[in-house]
Structure 1
Amino acid sequence: MIDNIKPKEATSIINSLIGGVVPKIGVQHITVGRSEEINAVVAALEDVKNGHSMVKFWIGDFGSGKSFMLHLLNTVALKQKFVVANADFTPDNRLYSNDGKGVALYSAIMDNVSIQTKPEGGALPTLLEKWIEQIVTKTAEENKISLTDIRNEQYLNLIQNNIMKTINEITDVGGFDFGMVVMKYYEGYIKDDEQLRRNALKWLKGEYRTKTEAKQDLGVREVINDLNYYDMLKNFCKLFVSMGYSGFMVNLDEAINLYKISTSVMREKNYEKILTIYNDCFQGKVANLFFNFAGTKEVLENERRGLFSYNALKSRLLTNKFETAEIRDFAQPVIRLMPLDHNEIFVLLKKLKAIFDYNYKTEISINDNEINQFMEELFNKPGASEFLTPREVIRDFLNILNIIRQNPAVDKNKLFGELEISDERPNEVSLDSIEEL
C-alpha cells in the first residue's frame, strides 16, 4: 500500500505523529483527501515559476490539517525545484516589531531553508557554495583560467569583483552589504578560514545584533534588522532564481500568535506587514515569491483581533461569494480546509498501519474490520463531533498499535473501549477578554 517510502521517512512519520506534530519529511505518503488543494498549488507554482508571485491563507479549525498542508506544499514545491523555508509565528517571532522579534522570524526562516537534496532544512550554506561555484566557473571561462588555478588566492579579487557585480545586478535594497558578506564567505572558503565563513553566515541569517560587532568581524556597515529583513528575503529570492531555482516559497504557521498580540497598535502593524507582502506579490512588485500563512477561522474572521479587523486586508480576503461546500474556488487567496470525512480517515489509518509495520519490521494483527471498529468506538463517543480532530484520531490509533506491538496478547476490544475524547483546542475565544494595553 505504501510505495517507495524510505526508512528515514517512515520513522519520521511515526515518531512525529505519536508526538502530535507533523513530520518534516514523508508527508506525501500519508496524504488523503487533498487532491484538489494540491492541484491548485501545482498550478500556482507554475505561475510563480513564470515570474508571478503569490500569497495563500490556509484556514481551518484546530487539528484540521493546516500544518500538514504546509508540509505537503513543501514536498510539492521541492519537487518543482523551489527553495522552501518554514517558520512558526511565536510570541518572539513576528512580522513587525521594534525589539528584534521581526528579525528573529527572519532568522528562523533562514535556518529552515530547504532544497530537494536537503529537505529537512539547513541548506543555506549549500546554496551559497553552489552559487559561488557558478561564479567561479563563469569567471574561469571568461578569463581563460583553469578551474584548478582560479581557486588560488591570487585570483581572489577577480572572483570577489564578479560576486559583487552579480549581486548588484540582482538586488535592490541592501545589495552592497549583502555582496560584501558573500565576498567574505568566499574568502573564508578559499583561505580555509572557518571562522570567517561562520561570521558571514551569521550575518546572512540575521544573527548580528549590533553594527559595531558586524563591522569588526566583516567590515560591513549594516546588519539585518526588524526594518530591512523583508528586503533581504526578496534579495535571496532573486539570488535563488539566478542560480536556476524556480522561486522561493516561505511558509508561516501558527498565525494565532499574531492574533494573540495584546496591543492593538502592534497587532495592526503586523497585519500591515501582511498587507505589504500581499500587495507586493499581487501587484507584480516582486517575482518568483510564494508566501503561505496558516491560521484558524478565528484568526481570519474575528472583527476585533483577526485579519478582518484590518479593513484593507478584510476587503482582499473575503471569500468568493459564489463558493459553497460543494463548489470550491481554489484560485482565491483564502483556502478553507474542510475536515476529512470518515472514508478518508479510514484510508489514512490503513496507510499508517502499513508504515508502522514497515518501520518496526512487524505485522500488527489489525484488519480492516477492526480499523472500522476503532473508528466507530471513537466517533460515537460523547463530544466526538465537537472536539475530535484528525490529530487525536491518528495519535490514539498509533498508540494502540504500539501497545499491541509490545503486548501481542492484549485484548483489542478492551483497548478500543478505553478510548476517550478530550478538547485539545486552545482557548482562543477568551482572548477577546484580554484588556487592550
Structure 2
Amino acid sequence: MKIKRKESSAIINALNAGVVPRIGLHHILVGRDQEVQSFLKDLKEVEEGSSKVKFWIGNYGSGKSFMLHLMRNVALEKNFVVADMDFSPEKRLSSSGKRAVATYTELMNNLSIKTKQDNALVTILDKWINQIIMKTSQKYGFSPTELDNLENQKIIKNTIMETLNQLSDVGGFDFGVVISKYFDGYINNDDFKTKSALKWLRGEYATKTEAREDLGVRKIIDSDNYYDMLKNFSDFVIQIGYSGLMLNFDEAVNLFKITHTQSRERNYEKILTIFNDCLQGKSSHLHINFAGTKEFLEDERRGLYSYNALKTRLQTNPFENKESRDFSQPVIKLAPLDHNEIFVLLQKLLQIFNSHHKSNIDLTQEEIKNFMEDIYNRPGANELLTPRDVIRDFLHALNIIRQNPEYNRNTIFSKVAQDQDEDEVEDNDDNIEDRFTVEEF
C-alpha cells in the first residue's frame, strides 16, 4: 500500500483513540460504495447551482462521522469551501441567547479549502481581493502595484461593492461594506480594520454600537440572521471561483437532548427552514449534512418526527429495503458494516500499521478471522459491539505485538485459545444465539 506518512500517522493515532481521522480516509473506505456514488452525484448538482440537505442516520459507531469526514475531503478536492462543527449544549441552530450565533462562529472559524485545511477565512478573502485588484487594474489601465493612489483604491472599492451588491439575502449590503473595510485595512496595512472586519464576519460583535463605531455598519450577525449570512457567504465563494459551500453538522443528537420543548422545537423549525430553502431553490451552491442517531430522527416525542412538518418530509421511502436502497431521499440510514467488510478493513489496517511503523507483522487471514470470531462471540457483542470497538482492539493487539517481540500472539490470534474461551462462555450462558463463525466468510 502506498500511503503518505502523514496520512498513516493520522489514521493510526485517531483510530487508536476511537475517533475518525481527518485525512487518508480513502485508504480505509469499505462497504460505502453506494453512499459515495450518491454523494458525488449530489455534489455535482450543487456545483451546477442547486442545494442539498442530507441526514446521515445510524447508531453510535456506525460510521456517521466517518461519512462526514469523507465527504469533507472529497468536497475539498472538488474545490468546495467546507465548514464543520459538532452540536453541543452551547451550540445550537436556534437560541434566545448566544448559542445559535456560537454555531455560526464555529463554522466560520472552521472554514477549510483545499490548500488551507482550517481557519481559511483570511486566505479566502485575500484571494478574492487579489483577484479584484488584478481584474480592475487591467480594466482601468493601472498597475496592481499602484495602490498608493487613492483614486485607484476608490475604483477597486467601487468594484467590490458592485460585485457584492448582487448578494440578495438579508444583510448583503452590510456584508459588502465589511468586505470593503477589510480591503481598506489590507491595502493600507491597517490591522485594526482587518481584524474588525474579521470579527464582524465571524459573528463576534456583541453589540451593534460597537460594530458601528469600528466599521460604520448598523447590523451585526446574531442568532436571528446568521443563516442568511451563510447564504451570502455561499454566493460570495462562488464569485471567487469555488464550487460551492458545504456545511457539516455532527452530533445532532444534542438537539434531541434539549429538555425544554419550545427550545427544541425552535431548533427543528430552523432545520425545516434550511430544508425548505435548499429544496425550493431559495439558496444555491449549498450542501448541508446532519449526522445523528436513529432516536434523533424517529423518536415521536423528542426527535425530528415529533415535529410533524419534518416528519412528513423525512419519512423513509416505503419501498426501500436492504437490497434496494434509495439514496436520492434526504435521509440516508447507514447500515453497520458486515463481518466481511470488517475483515477487509482489518486487512487494510494491518498494511497501514506495518507501513507506518516499518514493522512486519505477518498475520494470516486465518488469524484475523480467529480474532474476529473471539471478539464477536463475546456475550452482548451483537447488541453493543461497534466497528469502532473492533478496530481499536485490533490496533491495540498490533501495538502489543510490535512493542513486545517475545509476546505470544497465539493468546490473541489462535483458534485454540478461542475454543477455550468459547467453552467457558457456553458453560456460563447456554442461550447465546447467532454466534459468529469463520464459515460466514
Q: TM-score, normalised by structure 1?
A: 0.92
**CA shift for structure 1 position 133:** 1.1
Output one character per residue of 1:258-313: Cα deviation in whole Å (capped at 9) or x when no partner: 00000110100000000000000111111111111111111100000000000000
The one-letter code sitting in structure 1 at the alignment partner of 2:405 is P
Identify the residue that residue 106 of structure 2 maps to in structure 1.
108
**Contact between 2:169 and 2:229, CA under 8 Å: does it hold in 1?**
no
**CA shift for structure 1 position 335:** 0.6
Partner of 2:288, secondary structure, is strand
In 2, Cα distance between equivalents of 1:6 and 1:213: 48
Identify the residue that residue 309 of structure 2 maps to in structure 1.
312
**Contact between 2:252 and 2:296, CA under 8 Å: does it hold in 1?**
yes
| 2:66 aligns with one of 65, 68, 80 | 68
**Contact between 1:28 and 1:75, CA under 8 Å: does it hold in 2?**
no
Identify the residue that residue 173 of structure 2 maps to in structure 1.
176
Partner of 1:85, secondary structure, is strand
Counterparts of 1:364-379 in structure 2, within 5 Å, are 364-379=361-376
**Contact between 1:136 and 1:150, CA under 8 Å: does it hold in 2?**
no
In 2, Cα distance between equivalents of 1:192 and 1:53: 38
In the alignment, structure 1 residue 200 sits paired with structure 2 residue 197: yes
In the alignment, structure 1 residue 406 sits paired with structure 2 residue 403: yes
| 1:268 aligns with one of 265, 270, 273 | 265
In 1, Cα distance between equivalents of 2:406 and 2:312: 60
In 1, Cα distance between equivalents of 2:154 and 2:372: 67
**Contact between 2:245 and 2:285, CA under 8 Å: does it hold in 1?**
yes
| 1:298 aligns with one of 289, 295, 299 | 295
| 1:358 aligns with one of 339, 355, 358 | 355
In the alignment, structure 1 residue 228 sits paired with structure 2 residue 206: no
**CA shift for structure 1 position 170:** 2.6
**CA shift for structure 1 position 154:** 5.3
Partner of 2:60, secondary structure, is coil
Partner of 2:165, secondary structure, is helix
Aligned-pair identity in percent equals 57
Q: Identify unmatched segments of 5+ residues in structure 2.
A: 422-441
The one-letter code sitting in structure 2 at the alignment partner of 1:193 is D
In 2, Cα distance between equivalents of 1:191 and 1:17: 47
| 1:15 aligns with one of 13, 16, 19 | 13
| 2:145 aligns with one of 148, 164, 184 | 148
**CA shift for structure 1 position 215:** 2.5
| 1:36 aligns with one of 22, 34, 37 | 34
In 2, Cα distance between equivalents of 1:219 and 1:19: 48
Q: Which segment drifts farther, 184-193 or 40-49?
A: 184-193
Check 1:161–1:258 CA distance in 2 against 1; reply closer, same or farther (3 A cut): same
The one-letter code sitting in structure 1 at the alignment partner of 2:18 is G
**CA shift for structure 1 position 157:** 2.2
**CA shift for structure 1 position 349:** 1.1
Identify the residue that residue 77 of structure 2 maps to in structure 1.
79
**Contact between 1:84 and 1:249, CA under 8 Å: does it hold in 2?**
yes
The one-letter code sitting in structure 2 at the alignment partner of 1:135 is I
| 1:49 aligns with one of 29, 37, 47 | 47
Partner of 1:169, secondary structure, is coil
Identify the residue that residue 339 of structure 1 maps to in structure 2.
336
Partner of 1:305, secondary structure, is coil
Partner of 1:251, secondary structure, is strand
Check 1:394–1:284 CA distance in 2 against 1; reply closer, same or farther (3 A cut): same
**CA shift for structure 1 position 153:** 5.3
**CA shift for structure 1 position 35:** 0.4
**Contact between 1:255 and 1:299, CA under 8 Å: does it hold in 2?**
yes
Output one character per residue of 1:359-404: Cα deviation in whole Å (capped at 9) or x when no partner: 2222234332222221111011111111000111111111111222
The one-letter code sitting in structure 1 at the alignment partner of 2:76 is L
**CA shift for structure 1 position 415:** 4.2
In the alignment, structure 1 residue 214 sits paired with structure 2 residue 211: yes
Identify the residue that residue 439 of structure 2 maps to in structure 1.
none
Partner of 1:55, secondary structure, is strand
In 1, Cα distance between equivalents of 2:255 and 2:148: 48
Identify the residue that residue 424 of structure 2 maps to in structure 1.
none
Partner of 1:62, secondary structure, is coil
**Contact between 1:171 and 1:238, CA under 8 Å: does it hold in 2?**
no
In 2, Cα distance between equivalents of 1:400 and 1:151: 64
In 2, Cα distance between equivalents of 1:6 and 1:122: 24
Identify the residue that residue 434 of structure 1 maps to in structure 2.
none
Partner of 1:290, secondary structure, is strand
Identify the residue that residue 238 of structure 1 maps to in structure 2.
235
The one-letter code sitting in structure 2 at the alignment partner of 1:148 is T
Q: Which segment drifts farther, 278-287 or 152-161?
A: 152-161
Identify the residue that residue 328 of structure 1 maps to in structure 2.
325
Q: TM-score, normalised by structure 2?
A: 0.91
